[in-house]
Amino acid sequence: MNPIPVIGRFAPSPTGDLHFGSLVCAVGSFLEAKSAGGKWLLRIEDIDPPREVAGSASRIIRDLQRLGMEADDPVLYQSNRLDAYQQALDRLLEDGLAYPCACSRKDLPASGIYPGTCREGIRAGRAPRSIRFRVNHSCIFSDGIQGEVSDLPADSSGDFVIRRADGLFAYQLAVVVDDHFQGVTQVVRGADLLDSTSRQICLQKALGFDAPDYLHLPVVLSGDGKKLSKRLRADPVIHQDPVVSITKALQFLGQQPPDGCSLETLWQWALKHWDKRQVPARRALSPTAMKA
């Protein structure tokens, strides 16, 4: 039996330019896939137009190429995949695994956990707004960095939205459908998305999809302890020399690259010496902490 080919991906949202936090995820996903002889894919998650920044997607692709990372297949844009998300949504509705919901944010308790108000039907006089996935099971999975994770989505989120009140498909559904479509076998991303993983695994099981392996990297914190974010206008990597940017990303990921390399030589070293066991098993980390 031939082994399943390794396929990794980097899937940024076009809400701003590539910054150091997203670069760390790009580098980690690239090295985990390519060091195993696999493919690395790039997906632009552009299904939330109100949050998107004009020109962001093309600048992210350009900056990744300038830094030595180019996708092995054509870039996939989620905005071209709406029919696939609708088909998955229809399937879940037909199987009784999803249902219409009339609740708004103001209807939720202070915890934000959906209490199942519309699980057995919408009350008279109210109109459906969103579509929710019916959560019934706990989820335990082994993360390649963070170790064993156990979550009960019913207690941590409740039945969650898979199509929003504004008609847009939710991230949780789109990412599951696209990972399956692209044959992704490993998902390397920031630990800020660790809490989403159990919900995605629930959706994968409901749709009959295999779950990829997960590796959640520490989230990069700024000097004031906040997560770096495109929305907070974190400094884009375009302002730094490519060798400096990649070296800093490798160091943040626990690798020890040599000094005085060209970009090509640095990548050759990184692909040969990449060791995920050296990545700190932390949910979040400041770059300055790595120097201590």
Residues 186 and 285 in one domain: yes
Query: Does residue 46 belong to any structural domain of this protein?
Result: yes
Query: Does residue 108 belong to any structural domain of this protein?
Result: yes
CATH for 99: 3.90.800.10
Query: Does residue 67 belong to any structural domain of this protein?
Result: yes
pTM of the complete model = 0.92
pLDDT of residue 231: 47
Per-residue pLDDT of the chain (292 residues; tens, 9 = 90+): 557 799 999 999 999 999 999 999 999 999 999 999 999 999 999 999 999 999 999 999 999 999 999 999 999 999 999 999 999 999 999 999 999 999 998 998 888 899 999 999 998 889 999 999 999 878 889 999 999 998 888 888 899 999 999 999 999 999 999 999 999 999 999 999 998 999 999 999 999 999 999 999 999 997 655 665 554 455 667 778 999 999 999 999 999 999 999 999 999 999 999 999 999 999 898 886 555 4
Query: Does residue 262 belong to any structural domain of this protein?
Result: yes
pLDDT of residue 136: 86
Query: Does residue 2 belong to any structural domain of this protein?
Result: no
Query: Does residue 75 belong to any structural domain of this protein?
Result: yes
Domain that holds residue 29: 7-80+172-291
Residues 122, 101 contacting (CB under 8 angstroms): yes
Identify the domain boundary among 116, 143, 171.
171
Residues 195 and 127 in one domain: no
Identify the domain boundary among 138, 171, 204.
171
Residues 281 and 187 in one domain: yes
Q: How many domains does the chain have?
A: 2
pLDDT of residue 215: 97
Identify the domain boundary among 128, 150, 171.
171
Residues 11 and 38 in one domain: yes
pLDDT of residue 180: 98
Residues 60, 44 contacting (CB under 8 angstroms): yes
Residues 152 and 233 in one domain: no
Residues 74 and 177 in one domain: yes
Residues 97 and 23 in one domain: no
CATH for 73: 3.40.50.620
pLDDT of residue 47: 96
Residues 86 and 152 in one domain: yes
Residues 145 and 21 in one domain: no
10, burial (CB in 10 Å: exposed 0-12, middle 13-18, buried 19+): buried
